[in-house]
Amino acid sequence: MIPSKKVEELIMRHKSLESELSSGNVDKKLFATKSKEYSDINEIIDQAKKYLNFEKSKKELEKIIDDINNDKEIKEMAKIELDQLIKNNELNEKKIKLFLLPKDDADSKNAIIEIRAGTGGLEASLFASDLFKMYEKISHKKKWNLEIISISKSEAGGLKEVIANIKGKNIYSLLKYESGVHRVQRVPDTETQGRVHTSAATVAVMPEAEEVDVKVEEKDLRIDVFRSSGPGGQSVNTTDSAVRITHIPTGIVVSQQDEKSQIRNREKGLKILRSRIYEWERQKIDEARSKDRRSKIGTGDRSERIRTYNFPQGRVTDHRINLTLHKLEEFMQGEIFEEMIESLTLQAQEEELSKLN
């Protein structure tokens, strides 16, 4: 049960915002924020009103059913209506609870995604490349803008590491559950005996932090410049354009050498650094609130094995929600990625809702 007072406050807030916004006297600096809040409450206001009116409607129908003067047909219709009213009320209650759940301010942000080859040598780097291609295809289908910040290639078209910025609507909310270890089971092209090898890649997804989110002081940075190097360590530049930025208070280090310009490498490096500091601070706050707060979904633990891609059996399994899709090829093409994300999101919401009961 949701306390009636909470629902009443929601309805009153909606009415207050409606009156304020229609008056034309809202401070310009607050207009966008208040308009968004009104729009958000507007999506749930009908359910809130029906939920608040449920007991009254229920009693009216029960009165009709219990009234000995009413004929059988009227009573049967009232019973059907009452059953539907109870079902609708359960749905309304769930929707309102979801709305009242604490919001993650980062959900609306763009995301920085980092993919690194893990255990498994060359096969791991090839899998890291396959994962990156999968996210590229998803971005293309969803009309997101994917920009590579940094990339380090290995032999045979694999990737040692790639960092990219993905921009669009509510990107972090859709990709945050991708953080963790992704394991692959398949027969490498170089395997002559047809044996299945297991290798892995790690994925880290962070909300893109703006300057207003994280204040990075120059005095807290140590910046080293050096000459960019390519595969095998050979110099690919004649100037010291590569940049290594160390954030002294946290010990977070970012190296950037993709651009020929030291200034551009510094800009890209700071973008990554801000996001890593922002995520570091978020995790500290979460841990301080409660050791039990973090559910098994979305912990962001990069050492946690979250998913297995089994090519011989054509299946992909998410271990956090025990969901297996026997459509691996379609998944790698970004075709049914939303199905996985929806299941993860619903499970995470269920876990949060269970804490409210």
- Residues 247-257 as b/e (b if ≥16 CB within 10 A, e otherwise) read beeeeeebebb
Q: What is the mean pLDDT of residues 161-187?
A: 94
So what's the architecture of 106-212+293-356 in CATH? 2-Layer Sandwich (3.30)
**Contact, 182 vs 202, CB < 8 A?**
yes
The residues, ordered by sequence, that sit 6+ positions from 217 with a Cβ below 8 Å of its Cβ are none
CA-to-CA dists, residue 243 to 237, 255, 267, 273, 310, angstroms: 13, 6, 10, 12, 39
- Residues 206-245 as b/e (b if ≥16 CB within 10 A, e otherwise) read bbbbeeebbebeeeebeeeeeebeeeeeeeebeeebbbbb
CA-to-CA dists, residue 79 to 54, 75, 314, angstroms: 15, 6, 49
pLDDT value of position 289: 55
Percent of the chain exceeding pLDDT 70 equals 91
Please work out, in degrees rounded to the nearest 5, the angle formed at the alpha carbon of residue 175 by the alpha carbons of 216 and 245: 25
Residue 193: phi and psi, rounded to 5, are -90, 0
Per-residue tokens: 316: 């992909």
268-310: pLDDT as tens digits: 999 999 999 998 988 887 776 555 444 556 545 556 789 999 9
203-243: pLDDT as tens digits: 999 999 887 788 889 999 999 988 776 544 444 445 678 89
99-130: pLDDT as tens digits: 888 778 888 899 999 999 998 889 999 999 99
Helices 337-356, 72-100: axis angle to 10 degrees equals: 100
Q: What is the mean pLDDT of residues 124-146?
A: 96
Q: What is the mean pLDDT of residues 51-60?
A: 95
* Domain at 218-288: CATH code: 3.30.160.20
Residues in the chain: 357
pLDDT value of position 232: 44
Look at residues 178, 102, 78, 100 and name the one whose alpha carbon lies nearest to residue 135: 178
d(CA 22, CA 40): 17
* C-beta atoms surrounding 337 within 10 Å: 23
Domain boundaries of the chain, sorted by first residue: 4-100, 106-212+293-356, 218-288
